[in-house]
C-alpha cells in the first residue's frame, strides 16, 4: 500500500505521524503553501511541529500547491502512484479528476459526528451550539462536501470548560488511531462504508476574524459557549465603550454565566470588584474572568479592574455600534 497524506496543522499531525510509523507506507505529503506573517491567521487550524518539517525529517517528498486541482497538481500526485490518499484538514475541495487518481480513493479525517457539522470549522460550531458530545468520522471523499460513506466513527464528550483548541488537540489523537485502522482495513479489503443520513446534516462554515465579535444580546449561556468556541481562532472580542474616550478592544479569554441575573440592557458593565460582569440577553449576565486589552498582556479581570474602574454608562459592544467589528 502506497499512501499520500494531505493535511495542514495540529489536527493533521498525529495522523501523519501514525502513518509514518509504518515503514514505507507514506510516499508523499501535500500541505498548504508557506504563508507570510500577515497571512498566518484566518484559519481554525492550530500550528504544531509543522507537517512539512515532519515530512522532511523522514525523507518524505513535500508538495505545497496553491491548488491541487490543476494539471500540475494532478501530475505531482500521479507521479507518486498512490494506492490511497488520507486527508485531514487540508483546506482544499478536491475535483473529480484528483479523486480518481488513487486506486482505493481518498479517506478524510473529520472532527465531527457526521452528518452534523459538515465544513471547515466543525469543533467551533459544535461548542457554539452547546453540544456536549462530538467526535471523529473517517469517511470516503466524494463530489459533495463531507457527505461520503462513513468508514469509522467515534464519539467523545465535550468538557464544560473546553475550548475549540482543547477539543481539537484531543480529537487529533482519536483521528490518528481511527485513520490507521481504516488504512489497514482498506489494505485488507475488509473496509465497509455506511451512508450518512443527509436529512440530519448541519453546516460548519469557515470562521472569519469578524466572527469573533460577541453579541451581548444573546443569553449568558450562549455567550459562554461562544467564548470557548472562538478559541484559538478567531478569538472572541468586544469593545469597552467609555463616555468621552475611544473604545478599548478586549479579547475575552475566559467567561462564565453569573448565577444572578440583571435588568440592565445587554452590554452594560455592572459594578463589581474582581470580575468584569456584563449584562446579557434575557435578563442574564456574564462574568468575564480573563481577558487581553489591546496592546497589553493577558490578565485576569481583577487585574484590569484595579486600574480601570467601570463608570456609569460604560458598556461592551462593537467598535462602532451597529457595525460588525
Note down the domain range covering 296: 209-317
In a domain, 271, yes or no: yes
> What are the tens digits of pLDDT across the range 315-324?
999 987 655 5
Statement to judge: residues 43 and 170 lie in one domain: yes
In a domain, 324, yes or no: no
Burial string for 79-101 (b: 16+ CB within 10 Å, else e) reads ebebbbbbbbbbbbebeeebbeb
pLDDT at 252 (0 to 100): 98
Cβ atoms within 10 Å of 253's Cβ, excluding its own: 19
Indicate the length of the chain as a whole number. 325
Overall average pLDDT of the 78-96 stretch: 97
The SS3 assignment for 103 reads coil
Out of 182, 200, 218, a domain closes at 200
pLDDT at 322 (0 to 100): 55
In a domain, 227, yes or no: yes
pLDDT at 285 (0 to 100): 98
To which H or E segment does residue 292 belong? strand 285-293
pTM for this entry? 0.93
CATH of the domain at 305: 3.10.25.10
Cα 30 from Cα 21, distance rounded (Å): 18
Statement to judge: residues 213 and 194 lie in one domain: no
> What are the tens digits of pLDDT across the range 178-200?
999 999 999 999 999 999 999 99
Statement to judge: residues 75 and 216 lie in one domain: no
What domain count does the chain have? 2
What's the burial of 286, exposed, middle or buried (CB within 10 Å: 0-12/13-18/19+)? buried
Statement to judge: residues 108 and 254 lie in one domain: no
Helices (H), the chain: 13-20, 51-57, 71-79, 96-99, 122-128, 164-188, 220-229, 301-307
Statement to judge: residues 171 and 214 lie in one domain: no
Cα 177 from Cα 11, distance rounded (Å): 12
Amino acid at each position: 500500500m502506497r499512501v499520500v497524506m494531505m493535511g495542514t496543522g495540529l489536527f493533521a499531525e498525529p495522523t501523519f505521524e501514525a502513518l509514518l510509523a509504518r515503514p514505507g507506507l507514506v510516499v508523499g505529503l501535500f500541505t498548504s503553501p508557506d504563508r507570510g506573517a500577515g497571512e498566518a491567521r484566518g484559519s481554525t487550524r492550530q500550528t504544531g511541529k509543522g507537517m512539512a518539517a515532519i515530512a522532511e525529517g523522514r525523507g518524505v517528498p513535500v508538495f505545497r500547491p496553491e491548488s491541487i486541482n490543476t494539471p500540475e497538481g494532478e501530475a505531482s500526485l500521479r507521479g507518486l502512484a498512490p494506492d490511497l490518499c488520507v486527508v485531514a484538514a487540508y483546506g482544499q475541495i478536491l475535483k473529480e479528476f484528483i479523486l480518481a487518481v488513487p486506486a482505493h480513493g481518498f479517506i478524510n479525517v473529520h472532527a465531527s459526528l457526521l452528518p452534523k457539522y459538515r465544513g471547515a470549522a466543525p469543533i467551533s460550531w459544535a461548542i457554539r451550539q452547546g453540544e456536549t458530545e462530538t467526535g471523529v468520522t473517517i469517511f470516503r471523499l466524494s463530489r459533495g462536501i463531507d457527505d461520503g460513506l462513513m468508514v469509522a466513527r467515534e464519539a467523545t464528550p465535550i468538557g464544560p470548560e473546553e475550548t475549540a483548541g482543547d477539543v481539537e488537540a484531543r480529537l487529533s489523537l482519536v483521528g490518528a488511531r481511527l485513520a490507521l485502522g481504516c488504512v489497514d482495513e482498506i489494505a485488507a479489503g475488509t473496509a465497509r462504508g455506511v451512508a450518512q443520513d443527509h436529512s440530519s446534516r448541519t453546516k460548519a462554515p469557515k470562521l472569519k476574524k469578524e466572527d469573533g465579535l460577541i453579541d451581548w444580546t444573546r443569553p449568558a449561556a450562549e455567550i459562554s459557549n461562544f467564548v470557548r468556541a472562538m478559541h484559538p481562532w478567531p478569538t472572541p472580542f468586544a469593545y469597552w465603550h467609555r463616555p468621552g474616550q475611544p473604545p478599548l478592544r478586549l479579547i475575552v479569554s475566559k467567561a462564565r454565566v453569573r448565577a444572578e441575573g440583571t435588568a440592565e440592557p445587554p452590554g452594560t458593565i455592572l459594578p463589581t470588584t474582581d470580575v468584569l460582569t456584563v449584562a446579557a440577553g434575557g435578563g442574564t449576565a456574564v462574568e468575564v474572568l480573563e481577558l487581553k486589552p489591546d496592546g497589553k498582556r493577558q490578565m485576569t479581570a481583577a487585574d484590569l479592574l484595579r486600574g480601570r474602574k467601570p463608570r456609569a454608562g460604560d458598556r461592551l459592544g462593537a467598535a462602532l455600534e451597529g457595525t460588525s467589528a
